[in-house]
Chains A and B, each alone.
Chain A
Amino acid sequence: MLEIRNLHANVDGHEILRGVNLTVKAGEVHSIMGPNGSGKSTLAQVLAGNETYEVTEGEVLLNGRNLLELAPEARAAEGVFLAFQYPVEIPGITGSYFLRQALNSVRRYRGEEELDAVDFLKMIRERLKLVQMDDRLLNRSVNEGFSGGEKKRNEILQMAVLEPRLAILDETDSGLDIDALRIVADGVNRLRSPERAMIVVTHYQRLLNYIVPDFVHVLVNGRIVRSGGKELALELEEKGYTWVEKESARAELAGAR
């Protein structure tokens, strides 16, 4: 489904991604782990099309389609969803209005009929259960005054409504207490399906106890230096990131020679 080849990206002239390669198939859950500043969030933002990041080399294909030439809203309509690490507040727009606009924009792009308010309401009621969210939050401005947990739940709710083909979760566990983490992870797990791929970006192994990945990749200095199964995450937890960092430094030295 997703094919990332030799992806390089800059921000403000600094190279953050330095040749990322990754293949994700439908139905798979991949976790990207790595130390702070390794480029995890950059990768998530670049895939979603944030123009702050400049892609200098490489390609990204989604079901054979060149993702990099699409505007962010077209990527969303093609099925890319990013659950933000820091969801943005939008004053004056209620959550339900925002979601209906989003859903109908995506449906228009796909040539599907738009949902009217009544059908939308029915659908949203059902999806709210998935993340155990109170519908009162939807009558408030998007993310405004939400707690950390509410913001993250709201991200997962949006994912449940938009039904993406590729969901990227960026540090979804940050700022969550254990109960909120469980609810969010539960919601995500219920959205796992054979047609849907997921990339879970996280610093800590903790989240992966709840969302169990099929593959784990370690990103260091803008490159994936190690890939493995879910047990790799446990190994990282035990040995720390310095272990892979040293290894990757050695590999780079060897490459330079």
Chain B
Amino acid sequence: MPTATQTIEQLANRQYRYGFVTDIEAESVPAGLNEDIIRLISAKKREPEWLLEWRLKSYRHWLTMEEPKWANVHYPPIDFQSIVYYSAPKQKKDRPKSIDEVDPKLLETYKKLGIPLHEQAALAGVAVDAVFDSVSVATTFKEKLASLGIIFCSFSEAVREHPELVRKYLGSVVPYSDNFYATLNSAVFSDGSFVYVPKGVRCPMELSTYFRINAASTGQFERTLIVADEGAYVSYLEGCTAPMRDENQLHAAVVELVALDNATIKYSTIQNWYPGDEEGRGGIYNFVTKRGKCQGKNSHISWTQVETGSAITWKYPSCILIGDNSVGEFYSVALTNHRQQADTGTKMIHIGKNTRSTIVSKGISAGFGQNTYRGMVKINAGAEKARNFTQCDSLLLGDKCGAHTFPYIEVKNSTARMEHEASTSKIGEDQIFYCNQRGISTEDAVNMIVNGFCRQVFKELPMEFAVEAQKLLAVSLEGSVG
């Protein structure tokens, strides 16, 4: 008979349900990266001159940079010349005017992923921007939102229709020179979502972007920019999946959030990129820069992430708390199984007075998975009475996985208050047996314990997605009970 530990390990054998490939004709640029490729991407998107210049400036800077090596992750060197930087499904018309003109194959793909794009069938209360490889293929509820003055569209469209807003905020939170992957993104980014919520408007529905990588050897470099003007509120969610392939694919995104006076942005991520197989073959390298700027007084930015996919995750959704009384939050569940590696956490930079931040990080490791929390809390000299609360918990399933915690704390103001709590626990055979003895199967017991462990984070997700996240975690730990 297998021991409970073996059973837990079997349970951790995930089945990836989104690994199919859509057979669709694509229009790609040749593999490799040089100024001509960047000009080509920019031309394909018919971008204004200033944006091309920005891209080229980024690219030239990138050439002087080195890949960061400090993260607690290990992978062979990436050949940046073998990546295809732009791939888009071929469309008959220049750009579909309505959902009816979108290639049915694409609609079918999103339907299979559980994201119906026809508005009649669409998730009630959720507007979706669907990004397929390098382009946005459809955005739902756009007109309805526009009637409130809310702009929700693909990044390319924003560049065409609202250049003044894009120009004002692009790179204002993550500068083009920020870091190796963000700079690469600035040079080659293809599409993504743009959101602007005007003064005093509370966005009545969840906005979401669903990212799908389909084409082989292609990297996805999207860019998301969300601006909440004074007193505005918006809740935004992103989801991601990719086909199963043996080679690794690079996903290097940039997300910038700007919250003005009294504005609130809630940003949630359910990341389920292909994690690779049991031996660690294939899977997405998810190297992402996400940062929010609480620019105004009493502004509020909250990051919630459920990270179950990707071969390697490297991301630190952060908040720069400039406005007095502004609030930054980070709630995270990161699961690593098999050979997955995650180095994730946050940075909270306190600049304004009475700024507050909360960090709750839950890491779950199974199989040979390695899970690292890396976080920085920085209190600047002017941040009178700043407060931070940090809680990092790790849960281990089995005895071959690892959990690591690297908290950095830098305080330059003596009125600051900092709290840090950390714990590591293991699902013990005795706990499983106790549940078994009460009639609960090992599979249900593990799911129950894992969900209990994550509850604090799940309750931060929009209701529609909390259930989704729970299911995703269950699937990620699904397997045969021996």
Q: Which residues of B contact A92 (CB under 8 A)?
A: 449, 451-453, 455
| Proximity string of chain A (32-48) to chain B, C-beta cutoff 8 Å, 1 when within and 0 when not | 00000000000000001
For A162, the chain B residues whose CB sits under 8 A away are: 438-439
Contact segment of A57-65, A70-78, A124-132, A221-229: A70-78
Name the one of A72, A75, A101 contacting B444, with C-beta atoms under 8 angstroms: A101
Query: Which residue in B3, B437, B440, B453 is a CB contact (below 8 Å) of A82?
Result: B437
Verify A105–B437 contact, CB threshold 8 A.
Answer: no
Closest residue of B by beta carbon distance from A90? B431
Contact between A73 and B430, CB atoms less than 8 A apart: no
Query: Does B425 make an interface contact (CB < 8 A)?
Result: yes
User: A91 at the A/B interface (Cβ < 8 Å)?
Assistant: yes
What 0/1 pattern do residues 1 to 19 of B give for CB contact below 8 A with A? 1111000000000000000
Q: Digitize A73-103: 1 where CB-to-B-CB distance is under 8 Å, 0 elsewhere.
A: 1011100011010011111110001100111
Q: How far is the CA of A82 from the CA of B429 in the complex (A)?
A: 16
Map CB proximity to B onto A87-123 as digits: 1 under 8 Å, 0 otherwise: 1111111000110011101100100000000000000
Cβ–Cβ < 8 Å partners of B442 in chain A: 73
Assembly CA distance A141 to B453 (angstroms): 11
Q: How far is the CA of A143 from the CA of B459 in the complex (A)?
A: 23
Q: Which of B4, B429, B439, B444 contacts A76 (CB 8 A)?
A: B439
Expressed in whole angstroms, the minimum distance between the Cβ of A47 and any Cβ of chain B is 10
Interchain CB contact under 8 A, A76 and B434: no
Contact residues in B for A102 (Cβ distance below 8 Å): 435, 438-440
A76–B441 alpha-carbon span in the complex (Å): 10
* B465 interface hit (Cβ, 8 Å): no
Tell me if A158 counts as interface (CB < 8 A to partner B): yes
How far does the Cβ of A160 sit from chain B's closest Cβ, in whole Å? 13
A-side contacts of B444, CB under 8 Å: 101, 105
In whole Å, how far is B210's beta carbon from the nearest beta carbon of chain A?
30
B438, B444, B451, B452 — which one has the most chain A CB atoms within 10 A of its CB? B438
Bound Cα distance A87, B442 (Å): 18
Given the known inter-chain contacts A91-B452, A93-B452, A105-B444, please indicate yes or no for A84 contacting B439, CB distance below 8 A.
no
What residues of chain A lie closer than 8 Å to B429, measured between beta carbons? 52
Kindly identify, within residues 1 to 55 of chain B, every residue whose CB is under 8 Å from any CB belonging to chain A.
1-4
Tell me whether B437 and A90 are in contact (CB under 8 A).
Answer: no
A243–B453 Cα distance when bound, in Å, is 51
Cβ of A189 within 8 Å of any chain B Cβ, yes or no, is: no
Q: Among B1, B449, B455, which residue has its beta carbon within 8 angstroms of that of A51?
A: B1
Pick the 10 closest A-B CB pairs, nearest first: A92-B452, A72-B436, A102-B438, A106-B439, A76-B439, A88-B434, A105-B439, A93-B452, A73-B436, A92-B453
Chain A hits for B83, CB < 8 A: none
User: From residue A253, how far is it (CB to closest CB) to chain B in Å?
Assistant: 36
**Nearest neighbor of A107 in chain B, beta-carbon distance:** B439
Structural contact, B430 and A76, CB atoms closer than 8 A = no
**Nearest CB of chain A from residue B215's CB, rounded to whole Å:** 41
The complex places the Cα of A52 from the Cα of B436 at a distance, in Å, of: 14
Q: What A residues does B431 contact at CB under 8 A? A: 88-90
- The residue from B3, B4, B439, B448 contacting A109, defined by CB atoms under 8 A apart: B439
- Counting CB contacts under 8 A, is A49 at the interface? yes
What residue of chain A has the Cβ atom nearest to residue B425's Cβ? A91
Q: Are A90 and B439 in contact (CB under 8 A)?
A: no
Query: With a CB–CB cut-off of 8 A, which chain B residues contact A98?
Result: 435, 438, 448
B residues less than 8 Å from A147 (CB atoms): none
Q: Which residues does A use to contact B, with CB under 8 Å?
A: 48-52, 71-73, 75-77, 81-82, 84, 87-93, 97-98, 101-103, 105-106, 109, 141, 158, 162
User: B409-441: contact bitstring with A at CB < 8 Å (1 yes, 0 no)?
Assistant: 000000000000000010011110111111111
A76 touches B437 (CB 8 A): yes
**Chain A residues near B452 (CB, 8 Å)?**
90-93, 141
**Bound Cα distance A73, B451 (Å):** 20
B residues in contact with A49, CB < 8 Å: 436-437
- Enumerate chain B residues within 8 angstroms of A81, measured Cβ to Cβ: 437
Residue of B nearest to A71 (CB): B436
With A84-B434, A87-B434 as known contacts, state yes or no: A93 contacts B448, CB within 8 Å. yes
9 sample A-B contacts, Cβ–Cβ < 8 Å, listed by A number: A51-B2, A51-B4, A51-B433, A72-B436, A73-B442, A84-B437, A93-B448, A103-B439, A105-B439
CA A229 – CA B356 in complex, angstroms?
69
Complex CA–CA separation, A91 to B453 (angstroms): 7
Q: How far is the CA of A90 from the CA of B431 in the complex (A)?
A: 7
Does B430 lie within 8 Å of A88, measured CB to CB? yes
How far is A89 from B430 in the complex, measured between Cα atoms in Å?
9
Q: How far is the CA of A159 from the CA of B430 in the complex (A)?
A: 19
Cβ of B472 to closest chain A Cβ, rounded Å? 18
**A86 nearest CB neighbor, chain B only:** B430
CB B331 to nearest CB in A, in angstroms, measures 15
Indicate if the CB atoms of B448 and A48 lie closer than 8 Å: no
Given contacts A71-B441, A75-B437, A90-B452, 12 further A-B contacts (CB under 8 A): A72-B436, A81-B437, A88-B430, A91-B425, A91-B452, A93-B452, A101-B444, A102-B435, A105-B439, A105-B440, A105-B444, A162-B439
* B453 neighbours in A (Cβ, 8 Å): 91-92
Tell me the complex Cα distance, A48–B434, Å: 10
| Chain A residues within 8 Å of B455, by CB | 92
Q: A72 near B437 (CB under 8 angstroms)? A: yes
- The answer to whether A50 and B433 touch across the interface, beta carbons within 8 angstroms, is yes
Interchain nearest-CB distance for A11 vs B (Å): 13
**A141 vs B434: C-alpha distance in the bound complex, in angstroms?**
14
| Chain A residue at minimal CB-CB distance from B7 | A51
Is the CB–CB distance between A158 and B1 below 8 Å? no
Knowing A91-B452, A92-B455, the reply to whether A158 touches B438 (Cβ < 8 A) is yes
A76 and B448 contact, Cβ closer than 8 Å, known pairs A51-B3, A90-B431: no
Q: Are A76 and B436 in contact (CB under 8 A)?
A: yes
Residues of A close to B425: CB separation below 8 A: 91
Distance in angstroms between the alpha carbons of A82 and B437 in the assembled complex: 7
How far is it, in angstroms, between the C-alpha of A97 and the C-alpha of B441 when the chains are bound? 15
Chain A residues positioned under 8 Å from B434 (CB to CB): 84, 87-88, 90
Task: Report Cα–Cα, A70/B444, bound state, in Å.
Answer: 17
Q: Chain A contacts of B3 at CB under 8 A? A: 51
B-chain residues with CB within 8 Å of residue A71 when the two chains form the complex:
436, 441
- Which A residues are CB-close (under 8 A) to B451? 92
Residues of chain A with a CB closer than 8 A to B4's CB: 51
Pair A76/B438 contact, Cβ less than 8 Å: yes
Q: When the two chains form their complex, are residues A73 and B440 in contact, meaning their CB atoms are under 8 A apart? A: yes
Our pick among A50, A72, A93, A158 for the contact of B449 (Cβ within 8 Å) is A93
Kindly report which residue of chain B lies nearest to residue A158, judged by CB atoms: B438
Distance in angstroms between the alpha carbons of A219 and B428 in the assembled complex:
30
Q: How far is the CA of A173 from the CA of B449 in the complex (A)?
A: 29
